[in-house]
Structure 1
């Protein structure tokens, strides 16, 4: 954001409660851009045979991850997990369990992660172009974002 959404003045650095923030330099306007993180729901979708990892059409070829989606205004995160599992994979969520919440500062997001047991026939939506099912004993997380949720989920299973 480069301009104030209230008065259209160019945004500048302003001091708010002893912190430098982006805001409107016009004191009469007073707009402050807090740039709060966006909530994202991530699902470790488990089906018969393992966990579904999918490839997003905009990612590098070899990168696969768990399913994610943006939380809609007023939506319960559990319902978001169920909705995104259906929308992106065409799978019915049978059980959902909260794993945890994780910072993802690279994208200014906070990730709310769930384990979802699901059933049905996988049909990818337009955002995804490939998937694989990874047996749980071969699943490995990574040190940021959704990988942290995978690591915690694996630890909770004694893996």
Structure 2
């Protein structure tokens, strides 16, 4: 019996092993006492962090963390507590990028080559382009660190009175110096939906589209932000109808992935529509929308399709498309 397809693997940025230890954010004595034995994940202004160069080719890559004692005798201003793993505390600390470095080229997703700085046997990778190269622990740490980094640099003033804010609870709360208002890191929900036709259980064709700013041949599934007062399923129906003019049914949840660029969580869904439904791309939002067969997608996964480039493996879209392609009709 054919069953509706499910995600075949955990999305790259949903992987994590670290215990966030939320209660410890209010226990400075405990965190300070353990600081000398803690590990620091450094991250530069571009969101890049060092990993062992030798891991980049062999994979999976592990973060090149530093000893906390090398920075200070206690947690410095700007350090954020990320959690605990195997008895060790992990922190994030912003740093300047390496001043002297060579570069190597890596696949940054969508078949685009990206130059990566290399210094002292370390390669400095960013999460969006290379999150899938990391091991589970490193992926979880960098995803959390990037989310905090983006929140810190965007939330320097109070949204109520405009006064400057200061970070408390080791990076997890901003406290207004004017009105005492507290704010926490925000996450904006966005849906991402794989729409297939109604042939069989899992369809024979999938709907993929490309944005105007994307290069030719680059396609993905449809996505959009949840509006105020809107359910997730309602958002799926609205976004698909708005972007390609298609009404969908049988909306079902697949899985989720944080996407801290700057502060989203992608909520993955599948939905059905009638075979051969006419596609009407939204002007200014969708450059082109097409139906692709399962054979087309499988060929693209193998790099053997001349008209279809699929999302890089860091995105949940990649897992969704690959899982659909592997399913029976």
- Flag whether TM exceeds 0.5 (same fold): yes
Q: Distance in 2 between the 1:107 and 1:136 partners?
A: 33
Distance in 2 between the 1:118 and 1:125 partners?
Answer: 18
SS in 2 for 1:20: coil
Partner secondary structure for residue 248 of structure 2: strand
User: Within the alignment, does 1:74 sit opposite 2:194 as a pair?
Assistant: no
CA pair 111-29 structure 1, distance change in 2 beyond 3 A: same
In the other structure, the counterpart of 2:157 is 3
Whether 1:149 and 2:320 are equivalent positions in the alignment is yes
Deviations 1:81-122 (A, max 9, x none): 111111111111132221111222344211111111113311
d(CA) in 2 for partners of 1:99 and 1:52? 17
Instruction: Using the TM superposition, name which of 138-147 and 43-52 deviates more.
Output: 138-147
- Return the structure number with greater helix share: 2
Q: Point out the structure with the larger strand share.
A: 1
| Inter-CA distance 154–103: structure 2 relative to 1 (3 Å threshold) | farther
The 8 Å contact of residues 41 and 69 in structure 1, kept in 2 or not, is answered as yes
Q: 1:73 to 1:25 in 2, by over 3 A?
A: closer
Task: Provide structure 2 residue ranges, at least 5 long, that are not aligned to the other structure.
Answer: 1-153, 302-310
Do 2:233 and 2:251's aligned partners in 1 also have CA atoms closer than 8 Å?
yes
In 1: Cα distance, 2:281 partner to 2:157 partner = 39
The alignment's TM-score, normalised by the length of structure 2, stands at 0.42
Matched, 1:135 2:293: yes
Q: What does 1:5-154 correspond to in 2, within 5 Å?
A: 5-12=159-166, 14-16=167-169, 19-21=170-172, 23-26=174-177, 29-47=179-197, 50-119=205-274, 120-126=277-283, 127-139=285-297, 140=301, 142-145=312-315, 146-154=317-325
Q: Secondary structure at the match of 1:125?
A: coil
Label 1:104 to 1:148 Cα distance change in 2 as closer, same or farther (>3 A).
farther
Q: CA deviation at 1:20?
A: 1.4
Unaligned runs of 5+ in 1: none
Asked if the contact 2:193–2:222 (Cα under 8 Å) also holds between the matched residues in 1, the reply is: yes
Q: Report if aligned partners of 1:142, 1:148 keep a CA contact under 8 Å in 2.
A: no
- Matched residues, number: 154
The TM-score, its normalising length taken from structure 1, stands at 0.80
Q: Is the 8 A contact 2:191 2:267 kept in 1?
A: yes
Asked if structure 2 preserves the Cα contact closer than 8 Å seen for 1:142 and 1:151, the reply is no
Is the contact made by 2:227 and 2:235 (CA closer than 8 Å) also made in structure 1?
Answer: yes
